[in-house]
Amino acid sequence: MSGFSIDWLNLREDADRRARDQALRERALRWLAEESSSDQEPVVVDLGAGTGSTLRALSTQVPLSWRLVDNDKTLLTEAQRRHGRTQNVETCLADLADVETLPLDGVRLVTASALFDLVSANFIEALAKELKTRGRQNPVGLYTALNYDGTTHWTPAHPLDEVVLQAFNRDQRKDKGFGPALGPDAGSAIARVFSEAGFEVHSATSPWVLEGADQHMVSALITGIAGAVSDSPEIDSQALKDWVRFRHSNVQTGTCTVGHIDLLALPV
Ligand SMILES: C[S@@+](CC[C@H](N)C(=O)[O-])C[C@H]1O[C@@H](n2cnc3c(N)ncnc32)[C@H](O)[C@@H]1O
């Protein structure tokens, strides 16, 4: 178990699909089609695949061979159940932290969604190096969507919003199994490291824009944020309870916008 439940991944998937930058997604697919030989399906390796939401988001006329990598067996079993009969899908139970042992043989595109804010700067550097090295034989690109950028905007506003956000962003930087997490710096770190490694990097914003129709997801988000910040010394526990109550009472009529960044790094 990774702490990411099927229920939570299901809840966020529609907001993720709406948020993804469509131009970048299409550019990634176009590049895959251009770089592929006619006799072999291009191999796409999705890191931190969960139940396969990146596969679903990149569903296309171009047949792809998917390798889904995650350290959560329950999520991979669910991905296999959903796609194993209709798509060319292989699941790999592995810890991503060891970049050199990732199952990247024959890969054309590495993908990751809602993952790289969990990883460390060292991980991104090791991944760029690995893809650069593999790219000497065949070009390898990276498409990464929904990297949290540290911004959250609520309506109606509450006096504790900013304090909660700052505490949440501090929690986002704690070690999630890869060393100190990049959290809100993931997008800028990926852009810098992959540019320095010689990739052409394209980026675009991909915010969640959540309204009444997303109330179940917003409720879960409020509970998750409150859990993450509950130990923060600068937040009074009664004030946090009031914030949570206020936020839950506005999930039907209020809004919540959470910033993300999508990136596409292509070898030049
Ligand atoms: C926020 S979820 C995103 C899942 C999926 N990409 C999506 O967009 O629905 C992060 C995923 O990364 C996986 N993960 C986190 N740390 C990992 C690690 N060290 N090794 C392998 N997978 C990991 C989790 O199990 C989870 O499936």
Average pLDDT, the chain: 96
Confidence band for 37, pLDDT divided at 50, 70 and 90? confident
Mean pLDDT of 87-103: 96
- DSSP state, residue 157: -
6-151+180-209+257-267 has which fold?
Rossmann fold (3.40.50)
Question: How far does residue 162's CA lie from ligand 1's centre (Å)?
Answer: 27
Question: How far does residue 185's CA lie from ligand 1's centre (Å)?
Answer: 18
73 to each of 154, 176, 189, how far by Cα in Å? 35, 18, 29
Mean pLDDT of 179-193: 98
Does position 1 have pLDDT exceeding 60, yes or no?
no
Mean pLDDT of 83-92: 95
Q: For residues 227 and 116, give the distance between their C-alpha atoms in angstroms, rounded to a whole number.
A: 21
Given the structure tokens 């490694």, which residue do they identify?
197
Look at residue 2 in the predicted model and tell me its pLDDT. Answer: 59
Question: How far does residue 244's CA lie from ligand 1's centre (Å)?
Answer: 27
Question: How far does residue 49's CA lie from ligand 1's centre (Å)?
Answer: 6
Q: Give the residues surrounding ligand 1 with Cβ less than 6 Å away.
A: 2, 4, 9, 16, 48-50, 53-54, 70-72, 75, 95-97, 113-115, 118, 177
Domain boundaries, the chain: 6-151+180-209+257-267
Q: For residues 48 and 55, give the distance between their C-alpha atoms in angstroms, rounded to a whole number.
A: 12
Q: pTM for the complete prediction? A: 0.97
Q: Which run of H or E residues covers position 173? A: none
> pLDDT by residue (tens digit) across 141-164?
999 999 999 999 999 999 999 999
Confidence band for 109, pLDDT divided at 50, 70 and 90? very high
By the 8 A CB rule, do 265 and 194 touch? yes
Residue of 211, 43, 181 whose CA lies nearest to 116: 181
Does position 61 have pLDDT exceeding 80, yes or no?
no
> pLDDT by residue (tens digit) across 41-59?
999 999 999 999 999 999 8
- Which string of DSSP letters, residue by residue, matches 202-222? EEEE--EEE-GGGHHHHHHHH
By the 8 A CB rule, do 46 and 55 touch? yes
